[in-house]
Amino acid sequence: MTADQNNSNSLRIPLTIEMVRAANLIYLQLDRWQTADRAFAVLHTQVPGFNPEATLLKVASVNALYWTQLYAIDRMSRHIEHILQEIAIESAGIELVEAIADLPMTDSQEHHRKHTSFASKFLHFFVSRERFPIYDSVADWMVRQHLKRNLIFTDSANKYLAFCKNLDQLKVTSKIDVTNSELDRYLWLAGSLRKWKAGKIKEVNTELSDYFTHHQKESNVLLMD
């Protein structure tokens, strides 16, 4: 049995190194996405650390460029400052995402909302791109599409923990050696392409929608099922 055949038998939807490579080649053609990533890199190097000004800038940039629907920008900034003052950032694990995501409620709030997607992106871009993979609904959904039901780990109270366990399971089961950043690009593109093909155009950002429209042959390499 070949590695690809074993991959196919182990996953509900196969994942190959060629699919991830194709996604990263597509990424190199998406100027707005690349520009946003470079902007985060510049901010990370030119405004290091997490003092009040640096943290506020970083919170606002993630929210603006990655549409995380965070409205309490100043409050989240102060929340992050407080958390990062109390821990050793260099050795912190994925529990740090859950801590940042759990923004305390105000007295006037009626419902508690965890900002898991925002927290993962903040730590991904400004602490470690490998230690903190990006979590969002598209990436989470795409990982679950690949895994067979008996391999999926679920924890509704700790969504990021569950996502990371499932992401690790996908990497082990598919037997591909890629970075979390490379895999993130694949998950976002493949998940968005499936939504686009299902007619959910409004759920796909304009840059990706335009690319899928004009480069259908290249895009279809992302699909194996």
Determine which helix (DSSP H) or strand (DSSP E) holds 62, and give its type and residue range: helix 52-66
Q: What is the pLDDT at residue 86?
A: 87
- Provide the number of structural domains found in the chain: 2
Residue 59 forms part of a structural domain: yes
Residues 143-176 have pLDDT tens digits of: 999 999 999 999 999 999 999 999 999 999 999 9
Q: pLDDT tier at 9 (50, 70, 90 boundaries)?
A: low
pLDDT at 4 over 60: no
Residues 60-112 have pLDDT tens digits of: 999 999 988 899 999 999 999 999 998 999 899 999 999 999 999 887 877 88
Indicate the residue among 75, 107, 126 that finishes a domain: 126
Domain, as residue range, for 16: 3-33+134-222
Put residue 153 in one of left, alpha, beta given phi > 0 → left and psi -120 to 50 → alpha.
Answer: beta
Indicate the residue among 126, 147, 171 that finishes a domain: 126
Q: What is the pLDDT at residue 5?
A: 44
Q: What is the pLDDT at residue 225?
A: 55
- Summarize the confidence of residues 26-44 as an average pLDDT: 97
Task: Tell me how far apart the alpha carbons of residues 182 and 179 are, in angstroms, rounded to a whole number.
Answer: 5
Residue 8 forms part of a structural domain: yes
pLDDT at 203 over 60: yes
- Summarize the confidence of residues 1-27 as an average pLDDT: 79
Q: What is the pLDDT at residue 134?
A: 98
Same domain, 111 and 59: yes
pTM: 0.92
Of the ranges 2-11, 38-47, 63-72, which is most confident? Answer: 38-47
- Summarize the confidence of residues 123-133 as an average pLDDT: 97
Q: What is the pLDDT at residue 202?
A: 87
Indicate the residue among 102, 126, 150 that finishes a domain: 126
Q: What are the CB-based long-range contacts (under 8 Å, 24+) for 145-148?
A: 145/12, 145/13, 145/191, 145/194, 146/11, 146/12, 146/13, 146/14, 146/15, 146/170, 146/174, 147/11, 147/12, 147/173, 148/10, 148/11, 148/12
Place of tokens 């970083």: 58
Q: pLDDT tier at 201 (50, 70, 90 boundaries)?
A: confident
Same domain, 29 and 139: yes
Percent of the chain whose predicted confidence (pLDDT) is above 90: 83
Q: What is the pLDDT at residue 40?
A: 98
pLDDT at 8 over 80: no
Residue 39 forms part of a structural domain: no
Same domain, 121 and 139: no
Whether residue 132 contacts residue 90, with contact meaning beta carbons closer than 8 Å, is answered with no
Residue 13 forms part of a structural domain: yes
Same domain, 167 and 209: yes
pLDDT at 1 over 50: no
- Pull the structure tokens for residue 176: 């591909």
pLDDT at 2 over 50: no
Nearest to 178 by CA among 10, 9, 12, 18: 18
Residue 139 forms part of a structural domain: yes
